[in-house]
Structure 1
Amino acid sequence: MKILAVTSCPSGVAHTYMSAEALEKEAKARGIEIKIETQGSIGTENKITMDDVKKADVVILTKDMGIKDTDRFAGLPVVKVRVDDLIKHSNTILDKVEAFLKDRKQS
Protein backbone atom coordinates (compact mmCIF):
# COMPACT_ATOMS: atom_id res chain seq x y z
CA MET A 1 0.00 0.00 0.00
CA LYS A 2 1.22 3.48 -0.84
CA ILE A 3 -0.35 6.59 0.62
CA LEU A 4 0.19 10.17 -0.43
CA ALA A 5 -0.74 13.08 1.80
CA VAL A 6 -0.72 16.86 1.68
CA THR A 7 -0.87 18.84 4.90
CA SER A 8 -1.55 22.53 5.40
CA CYS A 9 -3.01 24.72 8.13
CA PRO A 10 -4.24 28.33 8.37
CA SER A 11 -0.97 29.69 9.78
CA GLY A 12 1.17 27.37 7.67
CA VAL A 13 3.50 26.60 10.51
CA ALA A 14 3.14 24.23 13.44
CA HIS A 15 0.07 22.16 12.56
CA THR A 16 1.19 21.64 8.96
CA TYR A 17 4.34 19.89 10.16
CA MET A 18 2.86 18.27 13.29
CA SER A 19 0.18 16.56 11.20
CA ALA A 20 2.77 15.38 8.66
CA GLU A 21 4.95 14.00 11.45
CA ALA A 22 2.06 12.21 13.20
CA LEU A 23 0.87 10.61 9.96
CA GLU A 24 4.35 9.58 8.90
CA LYS A 25 5.09 8.04 12.29
CA GLU A 26 1.84 6.02 12.30
CA ALA A 27 2.27 4.85 8.70
CA LYS A 28 5.86 3.73 9.25
CA ALA A 29 4.85 1.85 12.41
CA ARG A 30 2.40 -0.11 10.24
CA GLY A 31 4.87 -0.70 7.42
CA ILE A 32 2.91 1.54 5.05
CA GLU A 33 4.80 3.44 2.39
CA ILE A 34 3.91 7.13 2.57
CA LYS A 35 5.00 10.41 1.03
CA ILE A 36 3.83 13.65 2.58
CA GLU A 37 3.93 17.03 0.91
CA THR A 38 3.68 20.06 3.18
CA GLN A 39 2.22 23.34 1.97
CA GLY A 40 3.39 25.64 4.75
CA SER A 41 4.36 29.24 5.24
CA ILE A 42 7.72 28.64 3.54
CA GLY A 43 6.09 27.09 0.48
CA THR A 44 5.72 23.54 -0.76
CA GLU A 45 8.16 20.95 0.53
CA ASN A 46 8.62 17.29 -0.48
CA LYS A 47 6.48 17.86 -3.58
CA ILE A 48 4.48 14.88 -4.79
CA THR A 49 5.35 14.01 -8.39
CA MET A 50 3.16 12.45 -11.06
CA ASP A 51 5.27 9.29 -10.70
CA ASP A 52 4.26 9.21 -7.01
CA VAL A 53 0.61 9.62 -8.00
CA LYS A 54 0.78 6.72 -10.48
CA LYS A 55 2.02 4.37 -7.74
CA ALA A 56 -0.39 5.54 -5.00
CA ASP A 57 -3.50 3.81 -3.67
CA VAL A 58 -5.03 6.79 -1.85
CA VAL A 59 -4.36 10.42 -0.94
CA ILE A 60 -5.06 12.14 2.37
CA LEU A 61 -5.60 15.90 2.33
CA THR A 62 -6.06 18.25 5.24
CA LYS A 63 -9.15 20.37 4.74
CA ASP A 64 -8.46 23.40 6.96
CA MET A 65 -6.92 25.29 4.03
CA GLY A 66 -7.23 25.03 0.30
CA ILE A 67 -4.66 22.53 -0.98
CA LYS A 68 -2.93 23.59 -4.19
CA ASP A 69 -2.89 21.43 -7.32
CA THR A 70 -5.43 18.82 -6.20
CA ASP A 71 -6.28 18.08 -9.83
CA ARG A 72 -3.14 15.91 -10.00
CA PHE A 73 -4.94 13.38 -7.77
CA ALA A 74 -7.78 12.78 -10.25
CA GLY A 75 -8.76 9.11 -10.24
CA LEU A 76 -7.41 8.39 -6.76
CA PRO A 77 -9.60 7.99 -3.69
CA VAL A 78 -9.24 11.15 -1.59
CA VAL A 79 -9.71 11.36 2.17
CA LYS A 80 -10.16 14.86 3.58
CA VAL A 81 -9.52 15.37 7.29
CA ARG A 82 -9.05 18.24 9.71
CA VAL A 83 -5.42 18.92 10.52
CA ASP A 84 -6.12 18.52 14.27
CA ASP A 85 -7.68 15.11 13.66
CA LEU A 86 -4.62 14.02 11.75
CA ILE A 87 -2.41 15.03 14.67
CA LYS A 88 -4.57 13.42 17.36
CA HIS A 89 -6.13 10.48 15.52
CA SER A 90 -3.80 9.35 12.72
CA ASN A 91 -4.17 5.78 13.95
CA THR A 92 -7.95 5.86 13.51
CA ILE A 93 -7.68 7.59 10.14
CA LEU A 94 -5.24 4.95 8.88
CA ASP A 95 -7.51 2.19 10.23
CA LYS A 96 -10.32 3.57 8.08
CA VAL A 97 -8.09 4.03 5.03
CA GLU A 98 -6.81 0.45 5.31
CA ALA A 99 -10.36 -0.91 5.70
CA PHE A 100 -11.55 1.10 2.70
CA LEU A 101 -8.71 -0.15 0.49
CA LYS A 102 -9.23 -3.74 1.64
CA ASP A 103 -12.96 -3.55 0.83
CA ARG A 104 -12.19 -1.95 -2.52
CA LYS A 105 -9.80 -4.73 -3.51
CA GLN A 106 -12.35 -7.40 -2.55
CA SER A 107 -15.08 -5.79 -4.67
Structure 2
Amino acid sequence: MKIVGVAACTVGIAHTYIAQEKLENAGKKAGHEISIETQGTIGTENKLTPQQIQEADIIILAADVKISGRDRFEGKRIIQVATEIAVKSPNKLIEKAEEVVKQKQ
Protein backbone atom coordinates (compact mmCIF):
# COMPACT_ATOMS: atom_id res chain seq x y z
CA MET A 1 0.00 0.00 0.00
CA LYS A 2 1.20 3.52 -0.73
CA ILE A 3 0.54 6.13 1.94
CA VAL A 4 1.29 9.84 1.80
CA GLY A 5 0.40 12.54 4.26
CA VAL A 6 1.06 15.81 5.96
CA ALA A 7 2.06 16.54 9.55
CA ALA A 8 1.48 20.01 10.98
CA CYS A 9 1.06 21.09 14.61
CA THR A 10 0.01 24.43 16.06
CA VAL A 11 3.54 25.51 16.96
CA GLY A 12 5.10 23.83 13.94
CA ILE A 13 8.07 22.39 15.76
CA ALA A 14 8.14 19.23 17.87
CA HIS A 15 4.87 17.40 17.19
CA THR A 16 5.10 18.00 13.44
CA TYR A 17 8.40 16.15 13.17
CA ILE A 18 7.64 13.51 15.80
CA ALA A 19 4.39 12.67 13.98
CA GLN A 20 6.27 12.39 10.69
CA GLU A 21 8.89 10.07 12.16
CA LYS A 22 6.39 7.87 14.01
CA LEU A 23 4.11 7.51 10.97
CA GLU A 24 6.96 6.74 8.60
CA ASN A 25 8.40 4.14 10.98
CA ALA A 26 5.01 2.50 11.57
CA GLY A 27 4.21 2.46 7.86
CA LYS A 28 7.54 0.91 6.90
CA LYS A 29 7.26 -1.63 9.72
CA ALA A 30 3.88 -2.69 8.28
CA GLY A 31 5.47 -3.08 4.84
CA HIS A 32 4.05 0.02 3.16
CA GLU A 33 5.60 2.80 1.11
CA ILE A 34 5.07 6.00 3.08
CA SER A 35 6.04 9.64 2.68
CA ILE A 36 5.01 12.38 5.09
CA GLU A 37 5.35 16.06 4.22
CA THR A 38 5.92 18.44 7.14
CA GLN A 39 4.50 21.95 7.36
CA GLY A 40 6.29 23.62 10.24
CA THR A 41 7.74 26.92 11.32
CA ILE A 42 10.54 26.62 8.76
CA GLY A 43 8.10 25.97 5.93
CA THR A 44 7.24 22.85 3.97
CA GLU A 45 9.74 20.00 3.93
CA ASN A 46 9.64 16.66 2.10
CA LYS A 47 7.04 18.18 -0.24
CA LEU A 48 4.89 15.51 -1.83
CA THR A 49 5.04 15.29 -5.61
CA PRO A 50 1.91 15.13 -7.75
CA GLN A 51 2.95 11.58 -8.73
CA GLN A 52 3.23 10.48 -5.09
CA ILE A 53 -0.24 11.85 -4.39
CA GLN A 54 -1.74 10.28 -7.52
CA GLU A 55 -0.27 6.84 -6.70
CA ALA A 56 -1.28 6.95 -3.03
CA ASP A 57 -3.91 4.54 -1.78
CA ILE A 58 -4.69 6.80 1.17
CA ILE A 59 -3.77 10.19 2.61
CA ILE A 60 -3.08 10.71 6.33
CA LEU A 61 -3.37 14.27 7.58
CA ALA A 62 -1.96 14.53 11.10
CA ALA A 63 -2.69 18.19 11.64
CA ASP A 64 -3.78 20.55 14.39
CA VAL A 65 -3.93 23.52 12.01
CA LYS A 66 -5.17 24.18 8.50
CA ILE A 67 -2.65 22.75 6.07
CA SER A 68 -1.70 24.49 2.86
CA GLY A 69 -2.40 22.70 -0.40
CA ARG A 70 -5.14 20.43 0.91
CA ASP A 71 -6.86 20.70 -2.48
CA ARG A 72 -4.05 18.49 -3.90
CA PHE A 73 -5.78 15.54 -2.22
CA GLU A 74 -9.21 16.11 -3.81
CA GLY A 75 -10.87 12.81 -4.68
CA LYS A 76 -8.49 10.71 -2.54
CA ARG A 77 -9.33 8.72 0.60
CA ILE A 78 -8.29 10.84 3.58
CA ILE A 79 -7.91 10.12 7.28
CA GLN A 80 -7.53 13.28 9.33
CA VAL A 81 -6.38 13.15 12.95
CA ALA A 82 -4.67 15.35 15.51
CA THR A 83 -0.88 15.11 15.60
CA GLU A 84 -1.23 13.64 19.09
CA ILE A 85 -2.87 10.52 17.60
CA ALA A 86 -0.01 10.05 15.14
CA VAL A 87 2.52 10.49 17.94
CA LYS A 88 0.85 8.23 20.52
CA SER A 89 -0.74 5.54 18.30
CA PRO A 90 1.00 5.43 14.92
CA ASN A 91 0.60 1.66 14.50
CA LYS A 92 -3.16 1.85 15.13
CA LEU A 93 -3.41 4.72 12.68
CA ILE A 94 -1.66 2.66 9.98
CA GLU A 95 -4.02 -0.26 10.77
CA LYS A 96 -6.99 2.10 10.38
CA ALA A 97 -5.61 3.24 7.01
CA GLU A 98 -5.35 -0.42 5.92
CA GLU A 99 -8.99 -1.01 6.94
CA VAL A 100 -10.22 2.05 5.03
CA VAL A 101 -8.39 0.99 1.88
CA LYS A 102 -9.74 -2.58 2.11
CA GLN A 103 -13.32 -1.35 2.63
CA LYS A 104 -13.23 0.85 -0.46
CA GLN A 105 -11.88 -1.77 -2.87
TM-score by length of 1: 0.95
Aligned residues, how many?
A: 105
Gaps of 5+ in 1: none
Aligned to 2:95, what secondary structure does the other structure show?
Answer: helix
Instruction: Please report the RMSD computed on the Cα atoms of aligned residues, expressed in angstroms.
Output: 0.8
Match of 1:29 in 2: 29
Q: Distance in 2 between matches of 1:101 and 1:33?
A: 14
Match of 2:103 in 1: 103
Query: Which runs of structure 2 are paired with 1:10-89 in the superposition (5 Å)?
Result: 10-89=10-89
Aligned to 2:89, what secondary structure does the other structure show?
Answer: helix
Aligned to 1:11, what secondary structure does the other structure show?
Answer: coil
Give 2:66's aligned amino acid: G
**Structure 1: which 4+ aligned runs deviate by more than 4 Å?**
none
* Higher Cα radius of gyration: 1
Greater Cα offset, 21-30 or 54-63: 54-63
TM-score by length of 2: 0.96
